[in-house]
Chain A
Amino acid sequence: KNEVEQSPQNLTAQEGEFITINCSYSVGISALHWLQQHPGGGIVSLFMLSSGKKKHGRLIATINIQEKHSSLHITASHPRDSAVYICAVSTYGGATNKLIFGTGTLLAVQP
């Protein structure tokens, strides 16, 4: 079992729909990250959170530390949101920060 699990693996939505991507983890973490990877491969950090909720434009990320679960929501989805969304966790310890990644959710938003 992976230490970071995402669901669904693939998601197709119609433009305007509300989208939710889930992430569960089984290790102790110092932070959780949501990343966006576009078809060319480049990765952009969307959120880093250790508690509660963060909002940026149409994107909302929440985390429940007790349940070891996070969700990424996209409101009023648009075709330009199509990408792979990756959940990653920062683990404790040492002189540096190591990330453990989920396998990603491929989102396709159709016009």
Chain B
Amino acid sequence: DTGVSQDPRHKITKRGQNVTFRCDPISEHNRLYWYRQTLGQGPEFLTYFQNEAQLEKSRLLSDRFSAERPKGSFSTLEIQRTEQGDSAMYLCASSKAEVGELFFGEGSRLTVL
């Protein structure tokens, strides 16, 4: 069991560019979550998948954000036309539906210049 992996770990981009993050959950986990964390704050829920279905999206997720989980395996989070306010750590977690204990990856840190 390799745990939850995220890529890239760090991304520096210029305002207006698009970025994409990838998350590979623990293999037998059918739930996948994306969170965003800014300095000094707790992680904030962004969106949640059960298998390939996106079941809930936070109002924090503007139209510039889109997440997918094709085939219920890995997930991608894309941010279009990045803004400086998007600078944050983006965290992915997975769990089994029957248990609900979340396991997090190491995160992808985004800096928008």
Partners in one complex: no
Q: Which residues of A come within 8 Å of B, CB atoms?
A: none
| B residues whose Cβ falls under 8 Å from a Cβ of A | none
